[in-house]
Structure 1
Amino acid sequence: MSFSCWLLCISALWLKVSPAESESWNAEVPQSVVGLEGSCVVIPCLFRYPGPTKQASHFTGIWYTESHDKVYDPTPSKISSAFQHRTSLLGDLSQRNCSLKINPLRRSDSGPFMFRIEIEDFNKYTYYQNKVSITINDSLGQPNIYIPEEINSGKRVTVTCSVFHSCPSDPPNFTWSHKGTISSQSLQQTNGQWKITSSLSFTPSKTDNKKKLTCTAAFLGGKKVDSMKTLEVKYAPENVAVISENSVAEGSSVNMTCSSDSNPAPHTYHWFTEARTLLSEGHTFTLNNVSRHIGTIYCTAINTVGHTNSSPTQLNVLYPPEIKTGSSCTLDTSGVTCIFVIDSHPASEIKLWGADPSTELRRTNEEKHGTLTIVILQGVLGFSDAVHCQATNSQGNYTMTLKVPQYPETYNSKLLYISIAATVVFVMIIGFLVWIIRRCRRTEAHLSLQPKTETNVSNQSEPSRKCTDVNPCYDGSQHVYGNMALEEPYEEEYPYDYASEYEETYANV
């Protein structure tokens, strides 16, 4: 509270008694006030005098001890050395406010004290009957913290901290251990006491629960007092989860617990399937005859603030292998294909064999899809009359035998005839191709044996028409063109038998 507001409060007290009601000398002061050593103290004072209608030109206020030592005087040199530089007169004497401030307060300043008024050109009076004493304490007590009964996470709240003091001109300063918006208000009490209240507004969260909230009041002079309370913040359930065994065998029972973090603790728990079918109520839930098809389960925790669902939980159900009825062996032109579909959890060790159990068949391919394992075996016809498949895991084993299909006898006969016919056709085609090739070669040979005439020679290019004497000793008796007459007929069928004769024929060219 500001000093001007404090003066208004003092004036309001004075107005309660109108000067017209009494024309006697009287002062309104408390019989005693409480002060903090080392801080300041204010003794509230209102005085009255007879003849209030008389206009006074000047007022002089003086405070004395019971031994007439001056505690305060307008002339500082007249003040007792015990109070030098520590006292001041607050308020306006013309408004009958005679309040005294002592700062700092010492252990020896216990009083009693009395007030004297001197009115220029009118009268003087000492209020001996209105004495006031000071009770000096080392502490004015711890602050009082008020916290609302219910504090919810996320909702703004205001907490207060109040302390009594006797120095309205310099009230205590407050500090808080929590961040927020701070305001203060000071109210006058009886016997010269004042009460100052500091307010802290903030929005609590889950992390504020169980946190210590401290309020500290620092008085003029350096003394400090503090108080502490624990915050109780309520919040809806958080971190809701289903807790159960890591694995459970199919057909057995499993116990599940719904855990959560909340304040206050949940008062109700609900258990649901993924289709929102209510299974049970309670903190724990026992599921009997567990099936691999149970699906997901979740729980809901409910308290006075709200409710929260857990994440869907899929039970880890263990069950022995099962080879599905869709497994089969099929036959086509490429051979036999056997497919086995195994459902198990955990995954199974798979063994395939034919007529000899000690000889394992090598699978062609293996695929895994969740809990399903698909094994594919491919082979030529006749590798086995039956295929056996055994799947084994920690929960048990399962064996299935599939008969390998065979081609019928009529089909085998037809296949043999078709193979023979195809072979004959292939041989005939090869023979025909050989004959065509030989025929083409003979035709090429016949064309290469045709005689070259002069006309043929003249049609050649210039470089080819140049002739060179075969025999430089030519005497004219030889036939230049003797090659035109053939002594033996040309045999087409056996061209290579007369190769030497052909060479003589064309030797002159």
Structure 2
Amino acid sequence: MNMDKNKILQHCLLLGVFGSAVCTDGWKVSVVESLDALVSSCVVLPCTFSHPHENLPTSKLRGKWHVTSDRDQLIYYEDSTRVLENFRGRTKLLGKLGDGNCTLEMIEVKEHDSGPFCFRIEIARTPTDTSTPDKFSFVKNCVTLNMIHEPPKPSLAHKIPVEGYPFTITCSVTHTCPSHIPKLTWSRGSENEITEHHRKLQLGMWETQSILTFIPKEDDDHKDVTCTAEFNGQRTSEETMTLFVKRAVNYNHIIIPTVVAIITAGIFGGLCIFMMKKYKKRINELQSQDGTMWNRMSRISRRFRSNAPTPRHANQKSSNYVEENVSKPRFPSPKSQPKSYSYKQDMDNDDYMNTADGNIYGNI
């Protein structure tokens, strides 16, 4: 009899262990253990779950969020009358339970909304289905909120601005409320110069980026550019940077004279080539004609050389001219002598001269 009792006890223990394994198998949840929340703003608690039943529509499922210490202290339920008054109207599910999404949004975050908060799923089963449990609370996987009283400041990323070249500034800010993305604004720039991007960094953390692109000018040097982030609940923060515009290197004083010199040389070279071609063409035309100008000029040149006196004749003529000047008797000047005279008068003059000579010698 004692042996039968022992066997029955062993069977009960085995059934208890087996039943516990069955109850926990298939019930899983994925949440963030700790998450930052900006007071007076909003926060989103990402959550996914699974259950051992086949795919069920959302209408067959009931999701609850409650305080970990008491399942009846609900912070979210579809029947808002059962929700704690402090959370009533401030929480809602963002996902569909039929898709295994139990993400919770909380707005107007208050100082006492620290948690921890846990998710509970309830399945509306048929009266004949008694093989599996119909509800489960994930009390070992809850979310704790870290209260932040000051909004995070945006960060600015940029390179050195250069005058006349496109310049980009990236303003980034992290947040935990993707349902109400922070709005980023700039102190300058138009809509065409601004682009925005949103991305997920990790589970429960997102980033918003605003990219400003413009061309810096000389007047932008030492001017401030501010990026302002506005969070849900009208919480704002900003970050400012000062532009130090680098002057662009100007090579016009080198490029312009060089280009002018090249163009001038090209024009001059082109004219020279054109004149040479024209000159050669003219020469070829003259050489191709009968009785060319060169032949005519050669014949004329030979004629002049044949008619010109030789150097010997010229020297001889010069010698005769000298001899004639030496041997020719001297005539008196036309002013001192009459134009006409007789040979007799000359003879008388000669006799006179001789007489004088004789008289001289006779006196001696």
**Structure 2 length normalisation: TM-score?**
0.57
Q: 1:83 to 1:200 in 2, by over 3 A?
A: same
2:80 to 76, 82, 85: 76
How far apart are residue 56 of structure 1 and its match? 7.6
* Structure 1 residue aligned with 2:20: none
Q: 1:57 to 1:167 in 2, by over 3 A?
A: closer
CA distance in 1, matches of 2:206, 2:58: 33
CA distance in 2, matches of 1:193, 1:220: 16
Q: Which runs of structure 2 are paired with 1:424-463 in the superposition (5 Å)?
A: none
CA distance in 1, matches of 2:101, 2:208: 23
Q: 1:207 to 1:134 in 2, by over 3 A?
A: same
Q: Tell me the secondary structure at the aligned position of residue 189 of structure 1.
A: strand
* Structure 2 residue aligned with 1:363: none
* Structure 2 residue aligned with 1:194: 206
CA distance in 2, matches of 1:144, 1:136: 21
Q: 1:47 to 1:135 in 2, by over 3 A?
A: same
CA distance in 1, matches of 2:116, 2:203: 14
How far apart are residue 37 of structure 1 and its match? 0.6
2:122–2:134: 8 Å Cα contact kept in structure 1? yes
CA distance in 1, matches of 2:134, 2:198: 37
**Structure 1 length normalisation: TM-score?**
0.41
Deviates most, 201-210 or 219-228: 201-210
**What's the CA shift string for 1:37-72, capped at 9, x where partnerless?**
110000000011123457785111100012321000
How far apart are residue 154 of structure 1 and its match? 2.0
1:203 to 212, 215, 230: 215
How far apart are residue 152 of structure 1 and its match? 1.9
Q: Tell me the secondary structure at the aligned position of residue 152 of structure 1.
A: coil
Q: Tell me the secondary structure at the aligned position of residue 247 of structure 2.
A: strand
2:151–2:235: 8 Å Cα contact kept in structure 1? no
**What's the CA shift string for 1:468-506, capped at 9, x where partnerless?**
xxxxxxxxxxxxxxxxxxxxxxxxxxxxxxxxxxxxxxx
What's the Cα RMSD here?
Answer: 2.0
CA distance in 2, matches of 1:177, 1:55: 49
1:144–1:163: 8 Å Cα contact kept in structure 2? yes
2:194–2:213: 8 Å Cα contact kept in structure 1? yes
CA distance in 1, matches of 2:186, 2:238: 10
1:226 to 238, 254, 271: 238
CA distance in 2, matches of 1:76, 1:177: 43
* Structure 2 residue aligned with 1:141: 152
1:162 to 164, 168, 172: 172
2:90–2:106: 8 Å Cα contact kept in structure 1? yes
Q: 1:235 to 1:111 in 2, by over 3 A?
A: same
2:58–2:97: 8 Å Cα contact kept in structure 1? no
Q: Which amino acid aligns with 2:153?
A: Q
1:306 to 250, 258, 271: 250
1:143–1:163: 8 Å Cα contact kept in structure 2? yes
More helix by share: 2
1:24 to 10, 23, 26: 26
1:50 to 39, 52, 66: 52
Q: Which amino acid aligns with 2:145?
A: I
Q: Which amino acid aligns with 1:145?
A: L
How far apart are residue 221 of structure 1 and its match? 0.5
**What's the CA shift string for 1:205-241, capped at 9, x where partnerless?**
11112211111001111111011111122223xxxxx
Q: 1:54 to 1:83 in 2, by over 3 A?
A: closer
Q: 1:29 to 1:152 in 2, by over 3 A?
A: same
Q: Tell me the secondary structure at the aligned position of residue 219 of structure 2.
A: helix
1:64–1:113: 8 Å Cα contact kept in structure 2? yes
Long gaps (5+) in structure 2: 1-23, 126-132, 255-364
Provide the aligned length of Structure 1 versus Structure 2. Answer: 220
1:46–1:97: 8 Å Cα contact kept in structure 2? yes
Long gaps (5+) in structure 1: 1-21, 237-304, 311-509
CA distance in 2, matches of 1:172, 1:29: 23
* Structure 1 residue aligned with 2:38: 36
* Structure 2 residue aligned with 1:171: 181
**What's the CA shift string for 1:245-295, capped at 9, x where partnerless?**
xxxxxxxxxxxxxxxxxxxxxxxxxxxxxxxxxxxxxxxxxxxxxxxxxxx
1:116–1:125: 8 Å Cα contact kept in structure 2? yes
Q: Which runs of structure 2 are paired with 1:204-283 in the superposition (5 Å)?
A: 204-236=216-248
How far apart are residue 308 of structure 1 and its match? 5.5
CA distance in 1, matches of 2:175, 2:56: 38
1:132 to 128, 136, 143: 143
Q: Which runs of structure 2 are paired with 1:470-489 in the superposition (5 Å)?
A: none
**What's the CA shift string for 1:104-163, capped at 9, x where partnerless?**
101100000000011211711111111110001012421100112x32222222211011
2:110 to 106, 111, 123: 106
Q: 1:214 to 1:115 in 2, by over 3 A?
A: same
1:115 to 91, 116, 119: 119
* Structure 2 residue aligned with 1:89: 93
Q: 1:108 to 1:235 in 2, by over 3 A?
A: same
Q: 1:114 to 1:179 in 2, by over 3 A?
A: same
CA distance in 2, matches of 1:70, 1:192: 22
* Structure 2 residue aligned with 1:380: none
1:31–1:191: 8 Å Cα contact kept in structure 2? no
Q: Tell me the secondary structure at the aligned position of residue 169 of structure 2.
A: strand
